[in-house]
Amino acid sequence: MSRAVKQPVGQKRLTNIAVVRLKKAGKRFEVACYRNKVSDWRAGIERDLDEVLQTTAIFANVGKGVMAAKEDLMEAFGTTDEEKICLEILAKGELQVSDKERQAQQDNLFKDVASILADKTVNPETGRPYTNTMLERALRDVHFNIDPKRSAKQQALDARFPIQRARMRLKLQVPEQHQQALLDALDAAGSVVEGIEQAGSAAVVVTQVEPGVFRELHVFMQDTTQRQGRVEVLSFAVTAAEAAAAADDFNALSLEKAAAAAAAADAAAAAASENLPEEFATRKERFAELDQLQPGWQVELSSRGETVDAVFFSPEGAKVGTFATARRQALAAHKAALNL
């Protein structure tokens, strides 16, 4: 029984590799890389060239193991430094992949696009999110083409069917004197204000905004409030169900806080009246005129040594200031009521 004689092969064969090819000066140059490392290198994830290249040798044909001639390298690149040439080929060359690999990459990219759309968009009619399966089917129905040279996020913006970018929910805190400027900016941007609260000397606004408005609001908080404002992202994508639940929670919390604040204010006012000197205790009766003009006014008195400070609150709960200002508002409301 004869055995086949194996002749030694004088070619350097490389298998299970990824080939990056660059055509320059009429010649073809290739480098042998590890699979999945070229994309990491181009994305800046991988920094070690040795982890990307199987060898720094420059080939004319990797599959056949044919090395590139030094004369061709000098003519095309102006140098024979293999590392510099490899860097240029990695940056400008075309990654060679098989049909199955290319199809697998496109399928993964297609699913990434659908996943991004599911996270960032809602149905414009119902305000509810789409599922990944629904979006994948819709993308196929409109014959959405995947571009392997663009990221999934960039391509998700090109989708053309009934979707709407979901709003972001933000919690904005600004000094009280900038509250109206913030509300004007939100109104100009078409934002939905869910609620406003007072936290000491600051105003806290919970709002829904379009994602494109976030940068403008950030600049507003930095410039207008002189870096005294604060932005907190509560949700990157608000759905209809989340918006309704948040509104119910905020309303319940606001009522609870309002009741607690009213009780605290009454207790503070009573304590302030009891602690006032006798010669100032009668001043509170003078403010009853406000209730006659417009019911619902509140006044808080506090003693500071020999002086008495009065703080007025309108029936809507807004802090007004001096008695003269409060009386003018109450008088105006009284006249308006008579004209009705």
Paired with 163 in beta bridges are: none
Determine phi and psi for 327, rounding to 5 degrees.
-65, -40
pTM metric for this prediction: 0.41
In degrees, to the nearest 5, what angle opens at C-alpha 155 toward C-alphas 149 and 161?
Answer: 150
pLDDT in the model for residue 23: 93
Query: Three-state SS for 330?
Result: helix
User: In the structure encoding, which two tokens stand for residue 234, read together?
Assistant: 């509560």
pLDDT in the model for residue 6: 61
Within its chain, how far is the Cα of 54 from the centroid? 40
pLDDT in the model for residue 13: 54
pLDDT along the chain (340 residues), means of 10: 57 68 92 85 87 91 89 92 93 82 82 84 71 83 82 80 71 85 83 81 83 78 79 69 51 49 48 46 58 73 59 75 76 72
- Per DSSP, the residues of 182-205 read HHHHHHHTT-EEEEEEEETTEEEE
Within its chain, how far is the Cα of 178 from the centroid? 23
pLDDT in the model for residue 67: 92
> CA-to-CA distance for 202 and 320, rounded, in angstroms?
16
For CA atoms 230, 234, 237, 239, the dihedral sign is: negative
pLDDT in the model for residue 178: 83
Q: Are the CB atoms for 136 and 106 separated by under 8 Å?
A: no
Q: At what angle do helices 99-120 and 132-141 cross, to 10 degrees?
A: 120
Q: Are the CB atoms for 51 and 94 separated by under 8 Å?
A: no
Query: Three-state SS for 96?
Result: strand
Q: Are the CB atoms for 60 and 31 separated by under 8 Å?
A: no
Sequence-distant (6+) residues with CB within 8 A of 238 are 166, 167, 168, 169, 208, 246
Q: How many residues does the chain have?
A: 340
pLDDT in the model for residue 75: 92
Paired with 19 in beta bridges are: 32, 96
